[in-house]
Chain A
Amino acid sequence: MSRLKLTDILVTVVISIAFGLVYKIWGPLYYALKPLGFHLDQFIYGMWFIAAIVAFLVIRKPGVALLAEVAASSGEFLMGSEWGLEVLIYGFIQGLFAELVLMAFGYKRSGVIVVSLASIAACTGSLMMDFYKGYIEDLAAWNLALLISMRAAGSIVFSGLLALGIARALERTGVTKILRPASQDDFDTLSQ
């Protein structure tokens, strides 16, 4: 596994902290939706995995997804999150699960499918934490099923499709070029 360079780490952290700001705003929004019922709140839960995916799509190196999710949640934590330290632990688990999926594809693929799978993995991670912490298995069965499917669908929409959209728009600004190593082509033209 190639080690991350300072530029990679700093860029990941900064992207994540930008998303950390979004995460912080997302908290009150989540609580505002909660009383509406039907687990509408669960649908927007997916936003909390987006840093991992966007950072990976920008840098495409091992470890970035995990680092991004930890960084985003620390940013959220240091800004005084409603969930306190919990966000750090959730962030770590979610990032780890997303990272595992990306690793399984050798960090090579970045299409809709892989990205959605990574989001669902992160979603699974968050659900596992909830099983332990929130007694969600004690919800009535229909309610639990609704919760899970809402959260999974939201993950695909927010941290899957939205992340992909953002990454592609960033690609078009040309900013990602500075982060990628120069291609062999470029070296070849040097020697002509």
Chain B
Amino acid sequence: MPIQFDNKMTWLHRINPSVKLLGLACLFVVVLFIHNLNVMVLFALGPAILFLFFTGHPFKRILLFSIPFLLIFLSTSSSMILFGKGESTLFKWGLIHITEESLYRGIHLGFRALIYAMLGLTFALTTSQVLLFYSLMQQLKLNPKYAYSFMAGIRLIPIMIEELTTIKYARTVRGIQNTFTVRGILSSIKGYSIPLLSQSIRRAYRIAVAMEAKRFTDSRKRTYYYQTGFSRYDLIFIAYFALFLSLVIFISGHYPLFPVVDVRSL
């Protein structure tokens, strides 16, 4: 698994993975319905606090992970800011037409993307993939056929990455050189991608056969090595966002940062 570091366990790790995932899905919808710029900006603090302080990863690493977020923010907001519709012009130069409306809308979009990104990465950093699928089978009744296929697939990620090295080895040992002409590059891409895919398919096929040989069937009746259940951390997680959202709505109602209420009706 690419994301596998030595890190501390925090209360975020102890939340039931299904609860965490469903919680994120709810937050996704909630954030989709936030059209008030004030609410959006303040709400971003919620995921930010979790992401910065509670993933159990060293602060340096977290900062490193944050760099792409800045990019996302800038690039998501910029196209709306530069090219959006609007009346009250702030700046105009050629096709670029920045209006007050598009500026606010752009910032709004940027924050939304930022929230999604932080929530997603926090989830990925604090959730064991094996436990996630066990929990999906146990709490959300996901068909084991799919769950184990996903787990086997995820197990193959490092093997696939290694496979790329292996293909490189094989090509080296067999004396196939990479040339840097257009044709050379294209044939290299093909030389790597097609073997990678075809070997992955064969491997997947054999693993499926081996799984069936180990008595894996369609039946949902099975016991589980890892038991996932609910705990107070689930409640803390839900309460954290519920309280935070109420607080944000209250504050933005009374002490707005921006004069905007709804970015759509500008």
A82 near B203 with CB under 8 A, answer no
**Could you tell me the distance in whole angstroms from the C-beta of A127 to the nearest C-beta in chain B?**
15
Q: Please, what's the 1-or-0 string for A167-186, where 1 marks a CB less than 8 Å from any CB in chain B?
A: 00110010110110000000
Majority secondary structure, A binding face:
helix
Q: Which of chain B's residues have a CB closer than 8 A to the CB of A13?
A: 146, 149-150, 152-153, 204
How far, in angstroms, from A124 to B125 measured CA to CA in the complex?
32
Given A83-B117, A84-B117, A85-B119: A17 touches B201 (CB 8 Å cut-off): no
Q: A166-B194, A166-B197, A170-B194 are in contact. Are A77 and B149 (CB under 8 A)?
A: no
**Cα–Cα, bound, A37→B95 (Å):** 11
Q: Report how many residues on chain A are interfacial, defined by Cβ distance under 8 Å.
A: 52
Report Cα–Cα, A7/B109, bound state, in Å: 42
Query: Is A31 an interface residue when CB atoms closer than 8 A count as contact?
Result: yes
Q: How far is the CB of A109 from chain B (nearest CB, A)?
A: 22
| B24 interface residue (CB < 8 Å to A) | yes
A132 to B264, CA, bound (A): 11
Interchain CB contact under 8 A, A75 and B153: yes
Is A71 at the interface (CB under 8 A from chain B)? Answer: yes
Interface string of B135-169 (1 = CB under 8 A from A): 00000000001100110111011001100000000
- List the count of A-B residue pairs having beta carbons below 8 Å apart: 176
Pairwise interchain contact B201-A11, C-beta atoms closer than 8 A:
yes
**In the bound complex, do residue A10 and residue B78 qualify as a contact, i.e. CB atoms below 8 Å apart?**
no
Chain A residue numbers with a CB within 8 Å of B65 are: 80
Within 8 A of B (CB), among A10-25: 10-18, 21
Q: A111 at interface (Cβ–Cβ under 8 A)?
A: no
A133 and B32 form a contact (CB under 8 A): yes
Contact with A along B107-123 (1 / 0, CB 8 A): 00100110011111101
Interface window among B170-178, B208-216, B232-240, B252-260: B208-216
Q: Quote the shortest CB–CB distance from B146 to chain A (angstroms).
A: 6
Which of A100-108, A114-122, A137-145, A153-161 has 4 or more CB atoms under 8 Å from chain B?
A: A137-145
Find the A residue at minimum CB distance from B143.
A9
The interface residues of chain A lying within 8 Å CB-to-CB of B184 are none
Q: Interface residues of B toward A: which range?
A: 35 or more
- Is there an interface contact between B24 and A34, defined as CB atoms closer than 8 Å? no
The residue from A6, A78, A178 contacting B154, defined by CB atoms under 8 A apart: A78
Q: Is B185 an interface residue (CB 8 A)?
A: no
Q: Closest CB-CB distance, B213 to chain A, in whole Å?
A: 11
In the complex, B223 has a CB within 8 A of chain A: no
A134 to B211, CA, bound (A): 43
**Shortest distance between the CB of A148 and any CB in chain B (Å):** 14
Taking a contact as CB atoms closer than 8 A, the residue among A18, A86, A140 that contacts B84 in the complex is A140
Picked from B2, B119, B152, B202, the residue with its CB within 8 Å of the CB of A79 is B2
**Residues B203 and A14 in contact, CB atoms below 8 Å apart:** yes
Of all chain B residues, which has the CB nearest A28?
B68
Most buried by B among A67, A71, A175: A175
- Interface contact B118-A140, CB-CB below 8 Å: no
Asked if A10 and B149 sit within 8 Å, CB to CB, the answer is yes
Chain A's closest residue to B157 (CB) is A17
Q: Which of B78, B123, B156, B216 is the one whose CB lies under 8 Å from A14? A: B156
Using a CB-CB cutoff of 8 Å, which residues 82-106 of chain A contact chain B?
82-87, 89
Report 26 cross-chain contacts, Cβ distance below 8 Å, ordered by A residue: A6-B145, A10-B152, A10-B153, A11-B204, A11-B205, A13-B204, A14-B156, A15-B200, A18-B160, A21-B161, A54-B197, A78-B154, A80-B3, A82-B68, A84-B121, A86-B120, A135-B80, A135-B263, A135-B264, A139-B80, A139-B83, A139-B84, A140-B84, A166-B193, A173-B194, A178-B205
Please provide the 10 A-B residue pairs with the shortest distance between their CB atoms, ordered closest to farther.
A84-B120, A14-B204, A13-B153, A84-B116, A7-B208, A80-B124, A175-B198, A34-B75, A10-B208, A173-B198
Given contacts A80-B120, A83-B116, 19 further A-B contacts (CB under 8 A): A6-B208, A11-B201, A14-B152, A15-B200, A15-B204, A16-B153, A18-B196, A28-B68, A75-B153, A79-B2, A80-B65, A82-B72, A86-B120, A135-B109, A135-B264, A139-B79, A166-B197, A170-B197, A179-B201
List residues of chain A with CB under 8 Å of any chain B CB: 6-7, 9-18, 21, 27-28, 31, 34-35, 54, 58, 67, 71, 74-75, 77-87, 89, 132-135, 138-140, 143, 166, 169-170, 173, 175-176, 178-179
